[in-house]
Amino acid sequence: MAEGDNRSTNLLAAETASLEEQLQGWGEVMLMADKVLRWERAWFPPAIVGVVSLVFLTIYYLDPSVLSGVSCFVMFLCLADYLVPILAPRIFGSNKWTTEQQQRFHEICSNLVKTRRRAVGWWKRLFTLKEEKPKMYFMTMIISLAAVAWVGQQVHNLLLTYLIVTFLLLLPGLNQHGIISKYIGMAKREINKLLKQKEKKHE
């Protein structure tokens, strides 16, 4: 068991070091984005919502086709991948990189690796479910996809995408400030109250 844990830890460290090397040119940008997403200042949440709203209003106004939208998005990613490593050190100043910043960059890369591992783990579990319990797998997939299709039919695609993107960008800050855990705790308490009331009625 200990050998397995050590092997997993070593593999995580190796993957994190590899990712750090790949994203080294994005270090300053990632640290700045991390501060914004974790709401280190009170005006960051409305700024996130404002920027996302502006982007989606622009898309709504231009009304590009799917092919044009995908092409522009990929072109933006290519430009960012080329320009960010060149411009970031000049804008932020690479000589100001401190031990604390390096540690935070390491934590961000470690969290990204863990997130990727969780996603791969869920993907593998899905295929394990398909092999072990095919009926449950197909029923779950059909019901889930039908629900998603129904929601997509009821809500405009762009509005739905806007809501999802906004929520995902606000999620790190919501977690950091304990807002999600607070409301989950409230929901659990309300559910427990309802269950206790039902038990009393049955008695």
Is the pLDDT reported for residue 1 higher than 60?
no
Q: Indicate left, alpha or beta for 41 from its phi (over 0: left) and psi (-120 to 50: alpha).
A: beta
Rounded-to-integer distance, Cα 70 and Cα 65, Å: 9
pTM equals 0.78
Angle, vertex CA 149, rays to CA 145 and CA 155, nearest 5: 140
- In this prediction, residue 93 has a pLDDT band, given cuts at 50, 70 and 90, of low
77 within domain boundaries: no
- In this prediction, residue 95 has a pLDDT band, given cuts at 50, 70 and 90, of low
73 within domain boundaries: no
The candidate with the shortest Cα–Cα distance to 100, out of 174, 34, 46, is 34
The candidate with the shortest Cα–Cα distance to 27, out of 99, 82, 131, 108, is 108
76 within domain boundaries: no
Rounded-to-integer distance, Cα 148 and Cα 102, Å: 41
User: What confidence score (pLDDT) does residue 56 get?
Assistant: 94
Mean per-residue pLDDT, 56-79: 92
Give the model confidence (pLDDT) of 21-54 as tens digits.
888 888 888 888 999 999 988 899 999 999 999 9
Domain hosting 186: range is 1-63+96-200
Total domain count, the chain: 1
Is the pLDDT reported for residue 111 higher than 70?
yes
User: What confidence score (pLDDT) does residue 147 get?
Assistant: 92
